[in-house]
Chain A
Amino acid sequence: KAGVTQTPRYLIKTRGQQVTLSCSPISGHRSVSWYQQTPGQGLQFLFEYFSETQRNKGNFPGRFSGRQFSNSRSEMNVSTLELGDSALYLCASSQGTGGTEAFFGQGTRLTVV
């Protein structure tokens, strides 16, 4: 079974631009969650999608948004990029019910210059 796939692996963007990251979950998994990882703040929850609906949202500004498609693939978008948005963005997929293992992708390394 293929694992969680994130594209692209690396991105360099300029302040003010916007970016879209993609996550393909494990086949059969209906839930995708997104996390921002930085050295100072660790892993911070961004949002969670289940069956195309946002089920939960973390404490991030409205510049961060996401969506999930009918095939469970998910995208997240960051508009008006700031230097502080530089981070590793990880997505995790799971079957969708609480208390089940979340499998992480390898992440997208975003650098904002």
Chain B
Amino acid sequence: GENVEQHPSTLSVQEGDSAVIKCTYSDSASNYFPWYKQELGKRPQLIIDIRSNVGEKKDQRIAVTLNKTAKHFSLHITETQPEDSAVYFCAASGGGTALIFGKGTTLSVSS
């Protein structure tokens, strides 16, 4: 079955810096790659997603890139702010709606 690896597990940046989180997946049939943000005590919420027919997608300060050949995708957050501090999860899906998640990255943005 699908396996998703996520790195790093923790990431500390200064406000205004960029943050990059990387994920790799194993199943070449996966075609949907969402990123979720989970604040402490809250439910995960989708922040951006990308499908396998697209190489890059951007939404304001957040961007995701996908390399199907290498089976990896990355989340880029520019101009980080303290409210970006949270746990970020990448996921992969090959059909249906089941999501296989990476183990998460705890992002801390200090002002």
Contact = CB atoms under 8 A, between A and B. Distances in A.
Interface stretch (A10-18, A42-50, A69-77): A42-50
Contacts of B99: 33, 35, 43, 45, 92, 102
B96 A50 contact: yes
Give the bracket for the number of chain A residues in contact with chain B. Answer: 20 to 34
Interface in B68-111: 89, 91, 93-104
B93 A42 contact: no
B93 A98 contact: yes
B60 to A, nearest CB: 18
B15 to A, nearest CB: 27
Nearest to B91: A43
A56 interface: yes
A106 B43 contact: yes
B43 A98 contact: no
B46 A102 contact: yes
19 contacts: A33-B98, A33-B99, A35-B99, A41-B103, A42-B101, A55-B98, A59-B1, A96-B97, A98-B32, A98-B94, A98-B95, A98-B96, A98-B97, A99-B31, A99-B32, A99-B49, A100-B97, A101-B34, A105-B43
Interface of B: 1, 31-32, 34, 36, 42-46, 49, 51, 89, 91, 93-104
